[in-house]
Amino acid sequence: MDAAELNEFLAEVFPDGRVSTVEYADGKTTRTRCVYDRKQLRPGGTISGPTMMALADTAVYALVLSAIGRVPLAVTTNLSINFFRKPQPGDLIAEARMLKLGKALAVGDVIIRSDGSDVVAHAVVTYSIPPR
């Protein structure tokens, strides 16, 4: 699936309130943008951790689907994230790369940046791929 197909699919399966957009996808890497929304703020005026976790999760979901096609029931089995800096209000960009693509499991990592700027977090996400 390419970026346009992924966005259409994500809008279909998450009809409520998803604010991430896949900007690029080639089966090995993806770039996903989380559009800023002030509901994402937490005390101190920074973007919340769960916003970044959800972005990392979506970025690797898009990565896996870009590699194997439309498999809605792929599910996250592990997510590990380190937060480095407090992102200022604004869009976040997630750059994901595939580390392993097996039959039953796929693992990708994700670097999250404030748009045009510093690395704010890094995540590793494992998806379980159902038998087809």
110 makes contact with a second copy (CB under 8 A): no
Among 4, 11, 13, 35, binds a second copy (CB under 8 A): 13
Please state the φ and ψ torsions of residue 44, each to the nearest 5 degrees.
Answer: 100, -5
Among 5, 31, 81, 113, binds a second copy (CB under 8 A): 81
Q: How far is CA 4 from CA 21, 69, 79, in A?
A: 9, 13, 26
Helices (H) and strands (E) in the chain, counts: 2, 8
Tokens of 117: 């700027």
Q: In whole angstroms, what is the distance from residue 3 CA to residue 30 CA? A: 8
Among 24, 31, 76, 88, binds a second copy (CB under 8 A): 76
68 makes contact with a second copy (CB under 8 A): no
- Among 82, 86, 79, 81, CA closest to 118: 86
115 makes contact with a second copy (CB under 8 A): no
- In terms of residues, how long is the chain? 132
Among 25, 34, 109, 110, binds a second copy (CB under 8 A): 109
Among 73, 103, 131, 132, binds a second copy (CB under 8 A): 73
Contacting residues toward a second copy, per CB under 8 A: 13-14, 16-17, 39, 42-44, 46, 49-50, 53-54, 57, 72-73, 75-86, 99-100, 102, 104-105, 107, 109, 111, 119, 122, 124, 126
